[in-house]
Structure 1
């Protein structure tokens, strides 16, 4: 039976360490790190994510500069706000909560963020740094996956890794991080023919495709490390909602060597890496040792 890669426990420890670090750094810098989260509209899931991020900031001593805009806010208005935050010396990180309403161009907005304040790691300059293997702000979910694997001393060198999903948020940056750790990486996706044949080759199987319990035991190589980034909301016959991943957890854990749960796996690590990125940016901007 698989060991559980407990992201929640690691996130708790990392946040406690960050709180201590921020307390010491603030004495040198004279101010706390600052994170601005921009949210447009009233998407309930986005609102819940933003509240979670603000609570996490408060826990570690990061100042929150949350800004909530009505749905009809224009592209120009948001770009102006981002430019002001780029210049604000109290703000070390800027995050635009996705998805945005349809009339807004999210790529254009993300490109307006100062790359050195881009704590989501989605600016072309930060993605370019990742491709080149240079230091920079890295996308939070992929960085959280790598940190969790590191915590459990899982050596990726020479491993066959299969990444199911090709998004710019997870699939592409995580593939680059796995490659940098000397894994041999294959990217699969919803159009891949005979997905099961490919996933069965994986020593490390990562899925971020957003399809409820897509990965069955027959698709997993015995002894594989299975990382489930998917978050899918389902309702039972009584109408009660719960979260499940892309992997049939109970069945797959019988044959995997390690597996992440949903919830409690990668989700807490994503928020923690956002806090980590904000503190890293703060140190870089103020030229103080982290």
Structure 2
């Protein structure tokens, strides 16, 4: 009798977003306003337009206001500054790529840190790489993380790849993960976040492999990166119990014969990086994550609005205390 292959569970984004949406709805009840998210579309990329339409639909279905502004890319910088200065705008998202160059990185820094729902401002990126999880010394305001890497983290939590018995920061201890793609927007931040949570991560790019870890034995506060000269996917995949791929374009496919039996496979590319046969080898397969990314975006927007409300309340309290002191001494 032939040995029966393990059954692969295909997990769709819709199943994952339910709990996250409940969290968003609870957060929305605590603020007395309908947050306004403004999206800027300055690219002819069809995937960017689809993402913009999904964002608008998810916002309107879940009690958020959304406004899409289509702006010529040469006018985008001024348009972002106007949105920064507009008190009605709570959050800003820009649909990249626009110039596909360092100019895109410059535009990411134009967005005001208090409206940056994508977590791409220098302060948020610095905190993420340094493994600083809060914006204030009292640890009450969580820092904002980039949406797509955070969506992958939320998926791994949903799949119970994170071990909740362990303390925060070590919940991926013992896990080996391969991330195929080292873009500055998704691949590299994701490798850093996973390593900061205790995983051994192989970050695979077209030219080389890097290993992200928090060190052996006495674990460091933040990850460190070492080059793996001569390494390729062939070295990483057999070691990895989780494989996450986000290579753009429809030509790239993860070589299935190298996958470890029972691996968890997650695709974050707009194209399918895994062939349908992946289900014969993987234990869990997540074919797309776009819907999770948008709900994480709303979660980030809520966090930004709540941080602002808390700051204003603290400012009013301080002002009131100063006024009482003045009255008492006059």
- For normalisation by structure 2, the TM-score amounts to 0.74
Deviation at 1:92, TM superposition (A): 2.2
Structure 1: distance between partners of 2:41 and 2:192: 29
Cα deviation code 1:118-137 (max 9, x no counterpart): 11122222110101222321
Q: Bigger relative contact order, structure 1 or 2, given CA contacts below 8 A and separation 6+? A: 1
Q: Is the CA contact (8 Å cut-off) linking 1:140 and 1:274 kept in structure 2?
A: yes
Deviation at 1:148, TM superposition (A): 1.0
Deviation at 1:42, TM superposition (A): 4.2
Q: Tell me how many residue pairs correspond in the alignment.
A: 265
- For normalisation by structure 1, the TM-score amounts to 0.83
Where does residue 222 of structure 1 map in the other structure? Answer: 261
2:148 pairs with 1:125: no
Deviation at 1:13, TM superposition (A): 4.2
Where does residue 237 of structure 1 map in the other structure? Answer: none
Structure 2: distance between partners of 1:104 and 1:149: 31
Structure 1: distance between partners of 2:204 and 2:101: 31
Structure 2: distance between partners of 1:171 and 1:194: 16
Moved more, 190-199 or 170-179: 190-199
- Unaligned stretches of 5+ residues in structure 1: 233-244
2:31 pairs with 1:26: yes
- 2:50 aligns to what SS in structure 1? helix
Deviation at 1:95, TM superposition (A): 1.1
Q: Is the CA contact (8 Å cut-off) linking 1:19 and 1:59 kept in structure 2?
A: no
Q: Is the CA contact (8 Å cut-off) linking 1:216 and 1:252 kept in structure 2?
A: no
Structure 2: distance between partners of 1:253 and 1:57: 33
In structure 2, do the counterparts of structure 1 residues 230 and 42 end up closer, same or farther at CA, with 3 Å as the change threshold? closer
Deviation at 1:80, TM superposition (A): 2.2
Q: Is the CA contact (8 Å cut-off) linking 1:34 and 1:90 kept in structure 2?
A: yes
Structure 2: distance between partners of 1:128 and 1:103: 21
Deviation at 1:94, TM superposition (A): 1.0
Work out which of the residue numbers 268, 291, 294 in structure 2 matches 1:271: 294
Work out which of the residue numbers 235, 247, 251 in structure 1 matches 2:274: 247
Cα deviation code 1:55-108 (max 9, x no counterpart): 1111111122321124xx52xx32222222222222221111112157992222
- 2:148 aligns to what SS in structure 1? helix
- Unaligned stretches of 5+ residues in structure 2: 1-6, 135-142, 163-171, 209-230, 314-330
Where does residue 167 of structure 1 map in the other structure? Answer: 183
Q: Give the root-mean-square deviation of aligned CA atoms.
A: 2.3
Equivalent residue runs for 1:1-290 within 5 Å: 1-22=7-28, 24-27=29-32, 31-70=33-72, 73-74=73-74, 77-101=75-99, 105-134=103-132, 135=134, 136-155=143-162, 156-192=172-208, 194-212=232-250, 214-232=253-271, 245-248=272-275, 250-261=276-287, 265-287=288-310
Deviation at 1:217, TM superposition (A): 2.0
Deviation at 1:256, TM superposition (A): 1.6
Structure 1 residue ranges (4+ consecutive) displaced by more than 6 angstroms after TM superposition = none
